[in-house]
A and B are shown apart, each in its own frame.
Chain A
Amino acid sequence: MSAHSLALIRLLQVSDTAFPSGAFAFSSGLETLFNEGRVTKPEGVQAVLAEQILPRWASFDRVFLHAAHAAAGDLSKLSEIDARCHLQSSSDRLAHASRRIGRSLLSVHARIGTPGAAAYRSHADQPDLREARSYEPVMQGLIGAGLGLNVTQCELGAVHSTCMAFVSAAVRLGRLGAIEAQGLLAATAPRILATLEQPVPQLAGAFSPFAEIAALRRNTTQAVLFAT
């Protein structure tokens, strides 16, 4: 069995929806978009995924994932990248979601012995850092490197997780059938590939106002199913 295949086995493991990451609790604003009638059909879900969620991942999360993957093993550099992600996260609710997922990933990987996870967890658990570290893309880069994934495999896993979480939220909100969701993902695959073929931006930046404002505007006076 080659090292490449072994990396792929680990990639499949950690990209599976059965892998615990806490991501199921977040809809990236989709719940609000449904509740306010701004997205009503499967085509709308696909449009938000392609025009809001994917571009945000490509221009923001992807940059931090790459930087963290390259810095794996260097605790202070990783913390610096994490701090930058914190400072550049303009949507508080999305930042909180990213930290919760990142911390979950870190906790699970520390428990199963993924190299680098326990050390960074100890660092990020310091009281003054708990609300400012462990962002999801940084953890994905760090953990991917620890699993022996190259950066391309690492970002494939990350973008897959992002798309799956979003589409799964639509299914749980009852606006998309489970099979319909798979069709939507299949139709989006070329767009995902095109996104990955673009060069990684030098600087991180995000502009997905439709989804971001929806996540911020989440109605807390009525029953909601998701934390974003």
Chain B
Amino acid sequence: MTLLAPDQNTRAPGPARVGIGGPVGSGKTALIEALIPVFMSRGVEIAVVTNDLVTKEDARRLQASGLIDPARVVAVEAGACPHTVIREDPTLNIAAAEDLEARFPGLDLILVESGGDNLASTFSLDLVDWWMFVIDVGQGDDIPRKRGPGIMLCDLLVINKLDIAPHVFVSADAILAEAAAVRGEGRPVIGCRCKGTQTQGVSEIADLIMRDLLFRQVPA
């Protein structure tokens, strides 16, 4: 019995696709702004798909940032369904990624930023190869304890805005330790500060993406 059609779940080899999900205001766009120069300095050809909730705000912000060719940033207008467009029906995002692949044949990596969501969002593996979930200390130190599919199922949990932890009465060390304990051994958690002159964790995130994705097709 053939369970799948012969070419099901296959797509042509192309750039790795990384999903970046997380609640509204957790710093997903800021993290992308911090990651872009790191990848560029390493010679990684990059493009970005944004899924703004109801506007093109995030795409315009990246396009105007001067960090990346504006043509390499595409906004998917998908309405107020941030879950749907990355999980149940990711076809609009798939089409956007395919458009970028067609226009920039040398791409190594496409970052797909989800619209701001809650702790339940997850990415379809039809759309991405690997995804991270971004929360921040400002949401409270109990966020990891609440678990949720986003925190538990992502390939990497990023806890952002470590620099403001003392101002919101959160212990950065404690929240990182609790997140690691909740996710279990071998499930990475990286603390991050992606704004300001003293960034933290950004290079480690880039390292992980490169290790897990960009070297996967190197022949033995």
Contact = CB atoms under 8 A, between A and B. Distances in A.
B94 A24 contact: no
Interface stretch (A32-40, A67-75, A103-111, A189-197): A103-111
B6 interface: yes
Contacts of A111: 7-11, 126
Given A25-B77, A227-B77, A103 B95 contact: yes
Interface string A184-228: 000000000000000000000000000000000000000111110
B89 A21 contact: yes
Contacts of A87: none
Contacts of B78: 22, 24-25, 227
A20 interface: yes
Contact of A118 (B7, B80, B98): B7
A21 B126 CA distance: 13
A107 B94 contact: yes
**Would you call the interface of chain B mostly helix, strand, loop, or mixed?**
loop
A172 B7 CA distance: 35
**Size category of the binding interface on chain B:** 20 to 34
Interface in A95-116: 100, 103-105, 107-108, 110-114
Contacts of A227: 77-79
A110 B9 CA distance: 10
Contacts of B69: none
Nearest to B8: A112
Contact of A22 (B53, B92, B99): B92
A177 B7 CA distance: 40
| Interface range for A | 20 to 34
Interface in B69-92: 77-81, 84-85, 88-92
A112 B3 CA distance: 11
B220 interface: no
Contacts of B94: 104, 107
A113 B55 contact: no
A139 B84 CA distance: 22
A125 interface: yes
Given A22-B89, A22-B91, A113 B6 contact: yes
A22 B95 contact: yes
Contacts of A127: 102
A18 interface: yes
Contacts of A107: 91, 94-95, 98
Nearest to B103: A127
20 contacts: A18-B88, A20-B89, A21-B91, A24-B78, A24-B84, A24-B89, A25-B85, A103-B95, A104-B94, A104-B95, A107-B91, A107-B98, A111-B9, A113-B6, A118-B7, A127-B102, A223-B54, A223-B55, A224-B54, A227-B79
Interface of B: 5-11, 53-55, 77-81, 84-85, 88-92, 94-95, 98-99, 102, 126
